[in-house]
Amino acid sequence: MSIRELESGKIELWTSFLHEIVEDRLLDQYKDLLAPEERVQQVRFHFERDQHRYLVTRALVRVVLSKYCEIEPKDWVFNKGSHGKPVIGNDHASATGLFFNISHTNGIVIVGVAREPSLGVDVENIDRRKPSLGIAETFFASAEVEVLRELSDLEQQRRFYEYWTLKESYIKAVGLGLSIPLDKFSFSFPTASTIQLTLADNPEHADRWHFWQFQPASGYMAAVCINQNGLVKPILTNTRIVPMLSESPLELSLLRTS
């Protein structure tokens, strides 16, 4: 298998739909890829659907990363950063400068790969449950809360997840997790197709970050964030994948960008 070239500034997304990955033979192949500690973790999940999602997620990460590096899927080693963000632990020349980020929700797993460490990906099922306005009032910036209060219930639900996915992608890109209070930065949409980030403590740094927001499928919302410092024009692509079986281009259905 030829190694994929991944230039600086390009982010490649790999999206798996869990309902497409149910064949026992394929799932057994995935289990063979897992490290011993991952196999232990999988069976700790009480519900079968959670075990299935975990298995597909771990196999997807391993299979995808092997597209960019001469390391077999079963041989990848992963460590955790100081705030829990997973990082590659292999001491291999072609793995140096390769970064990834994972997000999953009910039905979908997305893995993003880039040459920049400041990559954040988030996907949410926006139809599964109605979010409480109280969550936004507790955690979101006041400007975001004011917008939400003015919307109808249906519009409020969608806008909540638009804010949430962008916030999650940003804190994952920064790599500091929830040590960054969610009310210390906010998002607005100057036009129907644009995103604006406001940083309460460092307003001059807001332009360093580039965002995409899109729907990977009906009923889902996703966002990607990367630090665009030094990047002329960040590029985002998306591929639908059943690991070890099939791949095809997947339209981004882009809603807005920064």
Q: How does pLDDT run across 128-141, given as a tens digit for each residue?
A: 778 888 999 999 99
Q: Which of 26-30, 93-97, 239-243 has the lowest mean pLDDT?
A: 93-97
Question: Which residues, in sequence order, are CB contacts of 51 under 8 Å at separation 6+?
Answer: 42, 43, 45
Count of H-run helices and E-run strands, the chain: 6, 13
In CATH, 10-257 is 2.40.50.140: no
Q: How far apart are CA 85 and CA 118, in angstroms?
A: 11
| Mean pLDDT of the region 150-179 | 91
94 versus 230: which is more confidently predicted? 94
Contact criterion met (CB below 8 Å) for 206 and 149: no
| Domain spans in the chain, listed from the N-terminal domain onward | 10-257
Give the model's pLDDT for residue 181: 87
What pLDDT is stored for residue 254 in this prediction?
Answer: 94
Q: What is the mean pLDDT of the chain?
A: 93
DSSP letters, 160-197, are HHHHHHHHHHHHHHHT-GGGS-GGGEEEE-SSTTB-EE
Of 123, 215, 124, 120, whose CA–CA distance to 169 is shortest? 120
Q: Could you identify the residue written with the tokens 């973790």?
A: 41
